[in-house]
């Protein structure tokens, strides 16, 4: 799909000849870098403007990826909430998403997924990259990729998705998934909505869960593309 007015402009030229999709990381966090309340309880940090932006980003994606932890805590459907998007004069390539929504991708864990999770309801094609120890009995309509190691091989998963015609992958979290993609350098764009609230505490999941940085060689350097004031907060757009 080509760039559309009001919808995100994916950096198509970056990964045209790559063996992985374009990867766009997205999240909302508090001013102190928390994604949720203590214990992972969901925090509604985005306002209507940012929620609509997320739906537009979903509408331009071929697949949406989350981790098993997010499924267990939030039980998201990962569908496009068209009611949040301005529907007047939607271009054809966006309207077609209502008939062909982006598929759902879950990076599994040994704890598996709840059998009644909404991502397993069969309404949208779903792929689960399972992990060793996962004893979940998945419905037959779910495409389950067997484990190759103790943890899901993210680079292998991306290569597999590219082979299935996934050119644009939106990654929505949670903390461990976002951290894994950032530390591995597997992202082309990242948008972070920073809400002007402070959650605090040590049990609230942070945006990044990586190890300690002992010097400049340990940090991940990013480039600012834009900082926009929306919903009383700031939307940051970054690239590697």
Q: Is residue 7 in some structural domain? A: no
- Peptide bond before residue 28 is cis, with ω within 30 degrees of 0: no
The CA-based angle 94-95-101, given to 5 degrees, is 80
- Give residue-wise pLDDT tens across range 77-103: 999 999 998 776 788 888 888 889 999
Q: Is residue 93 in some structural domain? A: yes
Q: Is residue 215 in some structural domain? A: no
Of residues 180, 114, 187, 192, the one with CA closest to residue 151 = 180
Q: Is residue 30 in some structural domain? A: no
Q: Is residue 26 in some structural domain? A: no
Strand order in the sheet with 22-29: 143-145, 126-129, 103-107, 63-67, 168-173, 22-29, 189-194, 233-239, 223-230
Q: Which domain holds residue 48?
A: 41-204+221-239
Of residues 146, 144, 115, the one with CA closest to residue 132 = 146
32: pLDDT strictly greater than 90: yes
Q: Is residue 50 in some structural domain? A: yes
Query: What pLDDT is stored for residue 47 in this prediction?
Result: 93
Average pLDDT over residues 38-61: 92
209: pLDDT strictly greater than 90: no
Q: Are 32 and 199 in contact (CB under 8 A)?
A: yes
Identify the CATH number of the domain in which residue 126 sits. Answer: 3.40.430.10
* pLDDT band, very low/low/confident/very high, at 226 (cuts 50, 70, 90): very high
Q: Is residue 11 in some structural domain? A: no
Q: Is residue 18 in some structural domain? A: no
When divided into structural domains, the chain yields a total of 1
* pLDDT band, very low/low/confident/very high, at 3 (cuts 50, 70, 90): very low
What are the backbone dihedrals phi and psi of residue 116, each rounded to the nearest 5 degrees, phi first?
A: -100, 20
Mean pLDDT score of the chain, rounded to an integer?
Answer: 91
What are the backbone dihedrals phi and psi of residue 4, each rounded to the nearest 5 degrees, phi first?
A: -125, 140
Query: What pLDDT is stored for residue 212 in this prediction?
Result: 79
């Amino acid at each position: 799909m080509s760039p559309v007015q009001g919808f995100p402009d994916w950096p198509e030229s970056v990964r045209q000849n790559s063996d992985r999709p374009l990867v766009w990381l997205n999240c909302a966090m508090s001013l102190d870098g928390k994604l949720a309340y203590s214990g992972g309880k969901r925090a509604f940090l985005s306002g209507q403007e940012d929620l609509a932006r997320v739906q537009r980003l979903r509408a331009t994606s071929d697949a949406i990826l989350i981790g098993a932890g997010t499924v267990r805590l939030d039980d998201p459907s990962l569908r496009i909430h068209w009611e949040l998007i301005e529907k007047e004069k939607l271009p054809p390539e966006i309207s077609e998403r209502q008939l062909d929504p982006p598929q759902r991708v879950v990076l599994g864990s040994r704890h598996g997924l709840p059998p009644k999770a909404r991502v397993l309801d069969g309404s949208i094609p779903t792929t689960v990259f399972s992990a060793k120890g996962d004893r979940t009995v998945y419905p037959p309509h779910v495409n389950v990729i067997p484990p190759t190691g103790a943890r899901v091989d993210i680079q292998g998963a991306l290569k597999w998705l590219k082979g299935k015609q996934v050119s644009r992958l939106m990654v929505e979290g949670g903390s461990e998934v976002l951290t894994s993609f950032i530390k591995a350098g597997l992202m082309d764009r990242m948008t972070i909505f920073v809400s002007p609230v402070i959650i605090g505490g040590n049990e609230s999941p942070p945006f990044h869960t990586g190890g300690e940085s002992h010097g400049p060689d340990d940090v991940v350097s990013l480039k600012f593309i834009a900082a926009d004031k929306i919903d009383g907060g700031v939307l940051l757009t970054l690239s590697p």
